[in-house]
Amino acid sequence: MKVKNPWHRPLIIFIAAVIGAGIIIMVVIAVVQNKPLYQKYKYGIVLDAGSSHTSVYIYEWPAEKENNTGMVNQKHACNVKGKGISSYSGTPQKAGESLKECMDEAKKTIPNYRHHETPVYLGATAGMRLLEMENKIASGEVLKSVEKSLQAYPFSYQGARIISGQEEGAFGWITVNYLSENFRTASGTVGALDLGGASTQITFVSEGILESPENSIDFRLYGNDYHLYTHSFLCYGKDQVLKLSLEKQIQSKLNMTDNIILEDPCFHPDYNVIKSFQSVFDSPCVKKVDQSQKENTFSHKGTGNWNKCQEAIKKVFNTSYCRFSRCSFNDVFQPPVEGQFGLKQNHPEVKEKYLAEYCFSGTYIITLLEEGYGFTSKDWKNTKFIKNIRDSEAGWTLGYMLNLTNMIPAEAPDTPLMPYGGYVSLMLVLSLLIFVFLILGFIFFRRPSCPAHKEII
C-alpha cells in the first residue's frame, strides 16, 4: 500500500500559486509598460510688432525638455489688420484694439486648460525704436495700450517691450539654425540676415576676436555655447533707406526751385506720383526741413536706370571713416563674413506701392550685401533667400520663444515603468522561473508516492 508524502499536496499548490502569480505579474507589467503615453504640450504666444504690421505667433512644444531647451514648433500665425503699432502714436488706444481679432484666434487655438499657464510676450522692433527716439511719451502710451489689451486675456502675460536690434538679429539666427536642424548635427551653423522696413540685421558665428563688445552676444543651446557677432542698422530697412535716398535728392534741389521734380533712376519710367514732403520727412532717420516746408509737394518721376540707382543708394552708406581694423559701414566693426547665410526679407501682399518699389528694393539688397556687408561673388552660392523653413516663419519670434523656454518649468512627463532593456530582461527572468516551476511541478506530480511498510508478525 502506497502512502502519500505529507508535503506532496502543499508543494503542488505552492508551485501552482507561484506560476499563477508570475503570469499575473507578467501581464500587469506588459500592460503598464506598453500603454500609450499621453503627449503633453505647452504653448507660448509671441507678438512681433514690426514697423509695417504686427503678427501673432503661437508655438507649442512637448512639456519635457531636450538638453534644457524646449522643442518648439509654430502651430498658428495671424497677421493683425492695419499698420504697425507705432502708427498709432496719435491714438494709442487703437494699438491695443487692433490686436483683438488675432488674440481671439489664439484663445480658440490653445486648449482651455492651458490658457492660464501660456506665456504671452510682445516684442516691438524698429518701428517702435524710431518712435521712442522721436517721442518717448508716445511710445510708452502705445505699449500701455497693448499691455492693457493683452492682460484682458486668460493667458500669462509676461510683458511688452521694445527689443534691441542685437536681440532681433540674434534670435533670428537661432530661428534659422533651429529650423535647419543645425544645432543637432556637427555640420555647423549658418549666418542670418534680416531686412525689414526700418532696420536690417546681420548675425553669424565668428571665430575671431570681436573688437566691439556691443556687437557680441552669447547663447547656450542644446548643450553647446555659441559666440555671435550681431549688429542691427536702424534706419537701414528698405522703407527708411528710400526716405534717406529721397531726402538727399530733395535737399540738393531745395533752394533751386519751388517746383521740385525728382528724376529717380530706382523707379520704372512710367512712374510719376506727386508726394508730400511730410511723407519723407516724417521719420527721425532723415534730416528735418523747416516746418513751413512740410506742406510742400514734389513730383517723383521714375527713369529706370540700374547703374545710376546703385550709385544713388551707395550715398546712404558712410564708408569714409573706420576706427577699427575693418568696418561694414557707418563706423561699425564687422569681421569677415563666414560660411553660409540665410536672408529673410518681408514679402508683403502685392500692392501698387510695393510693385513700384521693387526695382529700388532689389537694387538696395544687392548694394547692401556687396557694399555694406562685404559679400563677394563667391559668397552668393552660399546665400539663400528664405521666408519659411519647415512650415515656420524664419523670423526672430521662434528664436525668442526657444530662448525663453529655459525659464518655463518643465513638467515631469509620463515615462515607461522601466527602460526597454530592463523590461525585456525582467520578462525573460520571470519566464524562466515559471518554466522551472512548471518542470518541478511536473516532476513532483509524476513522482510515485512512498510505499507503506508492511508489519511482520
DSSP line for 64-75:
S-BTTB---EEE
Supply the pLDDT for residue 413: 42
Q: Identify the helix (H) or strand (E) that includes residue 158.
A: strand 156-162
Supply the pLDDT for residue 447: 58
Supply the pLDDT for residue 25: 74
**Structure-block grid coordinates of residue 325:** 581694423
**What residue type is assigned to position 265 of the chain?**
P
CB 205 within 8 Å of CB 219? no
Supply the pLDDT for residue 4: 52
Supply the pLDDT for residue 422: 64
Supply the pLDDT for residue 379: 82
Please provide the DSSP assignment of 241-262 as one string: HHHHHHHHHHHHHTTT-SSEEE
Distance of CA 263 to the CA centre of its chain: 41
Annotated binding site: 197-201
Residue-wise pLDDT tens for the chain (457 aa)?
445 555 566 766 766 677 677 677 767 766 666 665 556 788 999 999 999 899 999 999 887 665 555 678 899 999 999 999 999 999 999 999 999 999 999 999 999 999 999 999 999 999 999 999 999 999 999 999 999 999 999 999 999 999 999 999 999 999 999 888 888 776 789 999 999 999 999 999 988 889 999 999 988 777 788 899 999 999 999 999 999 999 998 888 877 667 889 999 999 999 999 999 989 998 999 988 776 676 789 999 999 999 999 999 999 999 999 999 999 999 999 999 988 898 776 655 545 556 788 899 999 999 999 999 999 888 888 888 887 888 888 899 998 888 776 643 344 345 555 565 565 666 667 676 776 666 766 666 565 555 545 444 4
Supply the pLDDT for residue 9: 65
Q: Which residues pair with 315 in a beta bridge?
A: none
Annotated binding site for ATP: 197-201
Three-state DSSP at 212 gives coil
Q: Which residues pair with 219 in a beta bridge?
A: 226
Q: Find, among 89, 82, 94, the residue nearest to 141 by Cα.
A: 89
pTM: 0.77
Cell 499698420 sits on residue: 83
Q: Kindly report the backbone phi and psi dihedral angles of residue 195, in degrees, each rounded to the nearest multiple of 5, phi listed first.
A: -120, 115
Which residues are marked as active site?
Answer: 168
- Convert 146-159 to b/e letters by CB count within 10 Å (16 or more is b): bbebbeebebebbe
Q: Who's near 432: CB < 8 A, 6+ residues apart?
A: none
**Structure-block grid coordinates of residue 231:** 549688429
Please provide the DSSP assignment of 376-408 as one string: -GGGGGGEEEESEETTEE-SHHHHHHHHHGGGS
Q: Find, among 59, 158, 180, 172, the residue nearest to 126 by Cα.
A: 172
CA distances from 175 to 61, 63, 294 (A): 15, 20, 42
**Structure-block grid coordinates of residue 155:** 493667458
